[in-house]
Chain A
């Protein structure tokens, strides 16, 4: 099994784990963490593909995309956390109103 196959399989598994957290955990901060896990899995797949496409060095285009993605992910996370905090201040619950009766 090549490194490309191994890490892209990990990406698939990581995506599923993150999706579970995002869909089935109620708490908003947990959903945001799970979304970051999904993001990490996408980055992993891109970098694994860049590694497969290496000649003298790995493909720099996916590398630049992932670098951009990491910065975008942290900005989106910060904004999402601020919104989550605001929701908690307004409703007193750290989850979305429609999730309050669930679980």
Chain B
């Protein structure tokens, strides 16, 4: 009974936070509520026996996404406040009330349909737990989630790395740069913060090393480890250090591509003829450890570079230094 009570409190809190963050006027407050919702979700993952997801949610879902949103929202906060005032003046009256009622009504109808769809789901187990458990012996690791990520469904993970790579390529393209040099965070130098960043970086690397190693037999893993290092790099950038911005184009590209290339190499060189990423007998454990190490490095650098790219473009609103890269007037 108490157990279900805890679940109920978590569910109500998540839903209340979501409603507040979607309906609120102040963007900054919404973003803070989103981060809070992410942390509540991490509790929900623990309740649902998914500690791997809880780690990833706290580090990536709430942490890094939140930092990205705050960075993007920074410039908008003032204008948002102005727009809200303007909206209150011009947007009042019955027309606005009808519009609000209509949009809430549509959403409510959809919510009812969703609830019926979810209630219609079968309640008896019919998943792949048994299949995974039967093949753990051959997987090369002792933790089921890592076995699925890097052995049974390694192909999906490879494509996931591909998505990360595409995202950072897109961001670099929007900034028209090959590195993060022009995307530095303009932060006031605070001595406490830069001291803290320097203390936390080695601790973060130690934590990441532990998570990476732990992933082979208990909850943990490469993506969580990469996210922890990325968080330390972001903190370093906020403290005024150069972080990933210090990397020149070529080393940056090498680190971003490292993991994708490693998967490609393994699928060509170290797989059997039975299919892509079908490891030879006895080699799975070592290959997985190697691939995970590249994931830690690539994920950390990519996420830190994505953070750098969330800020304003270098020289936006000013004449470009390079005439050849002059941007068109219209999109």
Mark A residues whose CB is within 8 Å of B: 1-21, 23-25, 27, 29-30, 32-34, 36-37, 40, 43-45, 47-68, 70-79, 81-91, 94, 103
Supposing A61-B153, A70-B57 touch, asked if A90 and B331 sit within 8 A by C-beta, the answer is yes
> Which chain B residues (53-106) contact chain A, with CB distance < 8 Å?
53, 56-57, 60-61, 64-65, 68-69, 71-73, 76, 79-80, 87, 91, 96, 99, 103-104, 106
Contact of A57 among B11, B49, B114, B164 (CB under 8 A): B49
B252 lies within 8 A of chain A by Cβ: no
B127 and A79 form a contact (CB under 8 A): no
- The stretch among B185-193, B267-275, B276-284, B310-318 that forms the contact with chain A is B310-318
Q: Which of B27, B50, B123 sits near A52, CB closer than 8 Å?
A: B123
Query: A55: which of B11, B118, B130 is its contact (CB, 8 Å)?
Result: B130
Does B41 sit at the interface, judged by CB under 8 A?
yes
Within the assembled complex, what's the spacing in Å between the Cα atoms of A33 and B18?
10
What are the residues of chain A within 8 A of B323 when measuring CB–CB?
A: none
Cβ-based interface call for B147 (8 A): yes
Question: In the bound complex, do residue B27 and residue A29 qualify as a contact, i.e. CB atoms below 8 Å apart?
Answer: yes
Residues facing A in B134-151 (CB within 8 A) are 144-145, 147-149
B201-223, CB < 8 A from A = 221, 223
Q: Return the chain A residue nearest B309 by Cβ.
A: A82
Which of B21, B106, B144, B309 contacts A78, CB < 8 Å?
B309
B194 at the interface (CB under 8 A from A): no
7 A-B pairs within 8 Å (CB atoms) are namely A7-B44, A9-B119, A40-B61, A43-B53, A67-B145, A71-B223, A82-B170
Question: Please, which residue of chain A has its CB at the minimum distance from the CB of B226?
Answer: A71
Give the A-B contact count at a CB cut-off of 8 A: 277
B69 with A81: CB separation less than 8 A: yes
* Identity of the chain B residue whose Cβ is nearest the Cβ of A97 in the assembled complex: B331
Q: Which residues of B contact A18 (CB under 8 A)?
A: 18, 22
Chain A residues with Cβ below 8 Å from B49 are 51, 54, 57-58
| B101–chain A nearest beta-carbon distance, Å | 11
Closest 7 CB pairs of A and B: A53-B127, A75-B167, A16-B111, A21-B22, A60-B144, A78-B306, A12-B114
Interchain CB contact under 8 A, A33 and B34: yes
Contact check: which of A17, A43, A79, A103 meets B167 at CB < 8 Å? Answer: A79
For B57, what are the chain A residues with a Cβ–Cβ distance below 8 Å?
70
Which residues of chain B are near A7, meaning CB under 8 Å?
Answer: 7, 11, 44, 47-48
Residue pair A45, B118 in contact (C-beta under 8 Å): yes
Residues of B within 8 A of A34 (CB): 22
A residues near B73, Cβ cutoff 8 Å: 29
Q: Are A36 and B309 in contact (CB under 8 A)?
A: no
Bound complex: CA of A10 vs CA of B37, how far in Å? 13
| B250 on interface, CB distance cutoff 8 Å | no
Q: A40, B37: Cβ atoms under 8 Å?
A: yes
Q: Tell me the complex Cα distance, A54–B60, Å.
A: 26
Q: From A17, A67, A83, give the contact of B53 (CB < 8 A).
A: A67
A53: which B residues are within 8 A, CB to CB? 125-129
Q: Please measure, in the bound complex, the distance between the C-alpha atom of A51 and the C-alpha atom of B11, giving whole angstroms.
A: 16
- A49 shortest CB reach to chain B, Å: 7
